[in-house]
Each structure stands twice: as structure tokens, then as C-alpha cells.
Structure 1
Amino acid sequence: MSSTSFARSEVVENLVRDASMAPSMHNAQPWRFQYSRAGDSITLRADPERAMPHADPQLRALHLGCGAALFNLRVAAQHAGFRPVVTTLPDPDDWQILAHVSLRESAGTIDPGLAALHTAIAERRTSRRPFDERPIPDELADRLVAQARAEGGRLAFLSGWHLSLVLDVIEEAELSSAHSGDPDEQRWVRTGVKLSDAATDGIPETGFGPRRSDGRAPVRDFARGRSETGDAGPGTAAFEHMPLLGLLCTEHDHPSDWLAAGQAMERTLLTATREGLATSFATQALERSELRWLLRDPVWGAGPVQMVIRLGYGPLGRPTPRRPVREVLEVVQ
């Protein structure tokens, strides 16, 4: 391999490493990347072996996670000086090919706004800890809404009766999951020190967070009797009574919308991280079709809800494991 090829391969590995820092349902990391030396391009593919047939039968959440990885890849490429050109769903005969990213430096345009988000990729965490009971400034809320809109999503912060409704629906979904069990959740939750320390995917025990003793923040109980303590030391904690929740919606509900929602979600999360906010997700109701549609607000008439994001001022979560780049990246001529 020539020195030029070696240097390019190292750059691509760094790009894929950043892309793989994206959040995904239960940290399943359902993506693969293929770098073509001849085309100087990266293809993002879905990894169906990491799909969740019980909680995500339509593969909507899989597309969201891969969309977040695609956004990270765009940010990393811009930061590295590339002008990437992205084509989503380029092959109608192969649903697993989710995006094609050309790295030819003269092809696209420079976006300083994307490059500026690069440091937040490594800083972003999913925090299942209590947040402060204080609102974020209106200017910041407006900026987060604009960030989601830039990627084709619509973000709306909840209040009043709609917030209460959404919290009720999420609590119903959480109780149902606790009683009936979730085989997908069981597959990806890692308990015990040895398993948690060795895992390169899934949710380790250190990422569970404390159980909620008070408040209405929609935090998921990943322990479910499997662990007595979470990453807070004590096993329980008081959470927010009025959590700040944002609904991320799209106009339609097709794979292209799911990919756009994943990019809008990650752009929002990285911006929030840069501004000192902690974030997490509430996906319980989204995993049940009969409850997902109840989350919509009939007054402002947005399209289907793709994600419920919890934001606030509080401690960042601990980093979750990531698969080595060699497991997710294939290099071809």
C-alpha cells in the first residue's frame, strides 16, 4: 500500500469511528461501512443482524440510528476538510444500502456549521440521571428547533396537557414492558461486571442510571430486578416533575423520512451538547404502534412522531461501548 493510500485509509477509519459514536436503540449499532478506494466514497449499510423484530418490526428505529451515524459522518468529513456529497437510498433494489457519501473534495460545499459540531460527537452521552428543574432559554430552544428543521425534521417542545398526555402514554408503555418482558431489550442489556466491561455494544450496567423514586421524567428501568444499583451509586433518585421533552416529527413515515429524522435528531443532540445540555430518549411508546400515534398533537397537526427527546441541565451519562472500527468498516478497491 502506498503512503498516500495508507494515509487515506487512516482518515477514513477516523471518519467511521466518529460516525459510530451515534446513538442507536439499545446501543445495537446497526450499521456497516464500506470504503471504495477507486470511488473515494463511503457506503453506509444497515446491519439486519442487529435489528429488533419485537420492538422495531418496521426497522424504523434502525434507520434512525443509521441516520444519526450518517450525520456524524457528514460532520466528521466536513471537519476533516472534505466536501461530502450524500445520496440517501441510492439503490431501490437493496434496502440495506442507506447512503452513499462521496469524499471527492471538490464535489460538494463547505458547511462551517457542521464542522463546528465535531467536538460534540465524542462529548455527547445518553444521560439517565436526574436533570435540574429549570427551563432552557428561549433562544436556545429556538436554535434547537432550527437545527432539526435544517435536516427535514420538526421539533416541538411539550407543555400543558400535551406533556401530561405524552408522559401518561410513556408510563403505560413502560409498565407494559416491565410486565410482559421485551426480548430485544433482554438481548442488548449487559449485566454483571465481566459482561459490562467486555461488551462492545449494548447497554452496560454502568449506563442504567438510578431508578426513579419520585418525579415524572420518562427514564427506562433497564435493571428490572437484574441490578440493585446503577451508575449513581444509590439505587434510586428523584427526577424532574416537569421534564423538558421534545417531539421530533417528520411529514411522512417512510424510510427516507426515518433517515432524515435520524440526522435531525443527531444535529439537535450535538447542538444541545455544545450548549451544555444533557440528553436522553424515551422510546417506550414508540415501540408500540397503537401508542405511538397517541403521542401526536392534533392541534398543531405534525406528522408521525419519530423520537421523544428529554433535555435539561444535569450530569452527562457515562460513555457506552463501541465496536472496533475493523468490525464495521470494509475497504475495497
Structure 2
Amino acid sequence: MTASFPDPAAVVPLIEDAVMAPSMHNAQPWKFLYRPASGLIELHGDPGRAMPHADPDHRALHVGCAAALFNLRVSAASAGWGADVRLLPDPDDPWLLAAAGLREPGPTDGDLATLRPAVRRRHSSRFPFAEEEVPPALVDGLRAAALLEGCRLAVPDAWHTDTVLGLVHDSEHREEMDPSLVAETMAWTHAGTPDEQTRPDGIPVNALGPKPSGRGGFVRDFGRSRRVPGRGWATFEQKPQIVLLGTSGDRPEDWLRAGQALQRVLLQATADGLVTSMTSQPLEWPELRWTVRDPGSAMTHVQMVIRLGYGPQGPATPRRPVADVLDIR
């Protein structure tokens, strides 16, 4: 019997969910190719949306694309499909990051489908969180979510959290001293002009959040080098709750696993009523990145710093239309 695969129209909603994933500076560096005859969806990185200064080895690009891949898996499961994923399937094409073959659903796909409502609700919140502690049971659930994708989630204690906070501020100052990095960040930050109101990528003004007052906040300040009229100040939580997502290796396939684990953790946190934000600033400097990890931990390479808590849900950031990122062949 000939296998039947979704027609292109049925794949469009899957891609609409996939592109809701976070990416560095909201550059959305992905392209998808659907092959209806085989039910195969290819995920390609888009080098035209890479960050040559902040992300020269494309680690963050891989992480963001893999987060979109996880959203695709969730959406497919919700639509009644499973997906067999192969990472880096073609050694001769490093920009072909993954291939997902659609199939009949399996026993674990139902767990993925339960995360579908969180796909559209998850937004990065660059606003202050409450000082309320996240219950250990929820953190344990996030640890389990990371493990399901082959990664680890570490909860740093007080001294380690202070160390990471210091590294975040150190990396901010380093970026300020590098004109090429400042220009790259500003290129992906909206200034609030009428033309940018309809821009389908980057960080819009309403998503910047307030400027942090004093020493505090793990939030990347995209308005740091740009004057934004009407943007106020706020005091962020004194004891931010962070977790570190990491891997044992640091190759492209590890980055792709980390991106899927990141999105699974973020969606689970959203489903649990938490709000989140992320920072990779200290991870963008090789001389700082190794100091982010706990030397006593089995986690060798930190791939993302995630802030958890309770507070205002961040606004939705723009997304490119599916027509711009999906090809059918």
C-alpha cells in the first residue's frame, strides 16, 4: 500500500508553529523545504541571517533552528503525525541541519502534542519578575524535559548565580567597546519608525522592556545603544532564578540537540505558568564561556542561560510569513 503524506496546505500550519521559536536577535535564520512525495520536511540554516560578529561559528544559529525543529515536532504530533528526525543528514551540505520524515504517530508523540498550546503563548519577557521562588517540583520537571532531548539543565547555587550575573555584565561592557558588535545588534533592533512597525523580524520597541536600574537583570538590553523615547527604568529581581542548559559535547549536532531541549524546556515552563527570558551574551566570548559552567558539574558546555519566574508575559515579536521560509518541491 502506498503511504499517504500531508498535502502542502496541511504542512503550512506546522511551519507557522515552527517559526514561533526564539532565535538570536529574532533573526529567524531558518528555511524549510517540504517534499510531498516522501513526507520529508528539511530544515536549512539561512547564512544570510547569521551573526558574523556575535556568532561566528553559527552555534546560536544552530540552537535557534533546532528550537524551530522542536516546534515542528510538537505541531506535527498535535496534527496526528509523528516525525523521524535526522540531524545533519548530508555531510556535503552543512546548512541542511535536519530532515524530519512524517509518519504515523508513535507512543511518545502524545506527550509532544500536549505542549502545542504553549507554542503560541511562549514569549521572552524582558520585564522584572517577582521574587517568588519557582517550586522545586517545577524545576525538576524542566530538568526532565531537557533530559528527554539528551541535554542537562543545571540549577546554579547562590555563588554561581552571582558569578554568571557578573559575566553577563562583563560581556555587555565588552560588546559596548566593539563597534562591529554594537552595529550588528542595532541592525536587528527596531527604532520605532513607521517602516519598522511592519518589519517581520528583529526586536521591536515594545519588546525591549524597561532599562534595569542598578546592578541586576539577566535581560539583554537591546536598547542599550539606542535612544528609545518613553522607555522607562525598573528594578529587576535581586535574586534572579536561572538555569543553565548544557551538553557534554560542543559540535553542531550538540547545538542542534541543545536547541530542541531549550524549546522543550521553554514550552514546559510556559505550560507550568512560568515566564522566561534567555541570554547568551557571556557565551559569545570564548574567554568567558568556559567560566559560566560549574567546574564541579558534569555539564561541560553551557549552551544557554535561562531566567525563570513569575511576572508579565512578554509581548509577541514579529514573525516572517510562511511564504518567505517554506518551499515545496
Structure 1 length-normalised TM: 0.94
Q: Secondary structure at the match of 2:32?
A: strand
The aligned runs of 1:78-117 (5 Å cut-off) are: 78-105=77-104, 109-117=107-115
1:300 and 2:293 equivalent? no
Please, which runs of 5 or more residues in structure 2 have no aligned partner? none
For residue 167 of structure 2, what is the aligned residue in structure 1? 169
The aligned runs of 1:1-333 (5 Å cut-off) are: 8-105=7-104, 109-181=107-179, 182=181, 183-214=183-214, 216-229=216-229, 235-332=232-329
- Quick check: 9-18 or 255-264, which moved more? 9-18
On the 8 A contact 1:228/1:235 being kept in 2, the answer is no
On the 8 A contact 1:83/1:109 being kept in 2, the answer is no
Once the two structures are TM-superposed, the CA of residue 156 in structure 1 deviates from its matched residue by 0.8
On the 8 A contact 2:78/2:114 being kept in 1, the answer is yes
Q: Deviations over 1:11-47 (max 9, x none)?
A: 1000011000000000000100000011111100110
Q: Secondary structure at the match of 2:269?
A: helix
Once the two structures are TM-superposed, the CA of residue 301 in structure 1 deviates from its matched residue by 3.6
Once the two structures are TM-superposed, the CA of residue 302 in structure 1 deviates from its matched residue by 1.5
- Quick check: 159-168 or 217-226, which moved more? 217-226
Once the two structures are TM-superposed, the CA of residue 220 in structure 1 deviates from its matched residue by 1.7
Q: Secondary structure at the match of 1:84?
A: strand
In the alignment, the residues of structure 2 paired with residue 225 and residue 99 of structure 1 have an alpha-carbon distance, to the nearest angstrom, of: 36
Q: Deviations over 1:223-265 (max 9, x none)?
A: 1252335xxx651001011101111010100000000000000
Q: CA 1:228–1:47 in 2, change beyond 3 Å: closer, same or farther?
A: closer
Once the two structures are TM-superposed, the CA of residue 215 in structure 1 deviates from its matched residue by 5.0
Structure 2 length-normalised TM: 0.95
Letter in 1 for 2:12: E
Please, which runs of 5 or more residues in structure 1 have no aligned partner? none
Letter in 2 for 1:194: P
In the alignment, the residues of structure 1 paired with residue 20 and residue 10 of structure 2 have an alpha-carbon distance, to the nearest angstrom, of: 16
Once the two structures are TM-superposed, the CA of residue 109 in structure 1 deviates from its matched residue by 4.7
In the alignment, the residues of structure 2 paired with residue 83 and residue 227 of structure 1 have an alpha-carbon distance, to the nearest angstrom, of: 47
On the 8 A contact 2:292/2:302 being kept in 1, the answer is yes
In the alignment, the residues of structure 2 paired with residue 20 and residue 329 of structure 1 have an alpha-carbon distance, to the nearest angstrom, of: 10
In the alignment, the residues of structure 1 paired with residue 130 and residue 195 of structure 2 have an alpha-carbon distance, to the nearest angstrom, of: 32
In the alignment, the residues of structure 2 paired with residue 198 and residue 235 of structure 1 have an alpha-carbon distance, to the nearest angstrom, of: 23
In the alignment, the residues of structure 1 paired with residue 244 and residue 78 of structure 2 have an alpha-carbon distance, to the nearest angstrom, of: 29
Once the two structures are TM-superposed, the CA of residue 206 in structure 1 deviates from its matched residue by 1.2
Q: Deviations over 1:169-224 (max 9, x none)?
A: 11100122123341321221111231331110111111111000145221222112
Letter in 1 for 2:156: L
- Quick check: 151-160 or 68-77, which moved more? 151-160
Once the two structures are TM-superposed, the CA of residue 285 in structure 1 deviates from its matched residue by 0.6
On the 8 A contact 2:248/2:298 being kept in 1, the answer is no
On the 8 A contact 1:217/1:242 being kept in 2, the answer is no
Q: Deviations over 1:62-88 (max 9, x none)?
A: 000011000000000000000211111
Q: Secondary structure at the match of 2:67?
A: helix
Q: Secondary structure at the match of 1:43?
A: strand
Letter in 1 for 2:77: Q
In the alignment, the residues of structure 2 paired with residue 46 and residue 211 of structure 1 have an alpha-carbon distance, to the nearest angstrom, of: 33
In the alignment, the residues of structure 2 paired with residue 262 and residue 221 of structure 1 have an alpha-carbon distance, to the nearest angstrom, of: 22
- Quick check: 233-242 or 249-258, which moved more? 233-242
Letter in 1 for 2:158: G
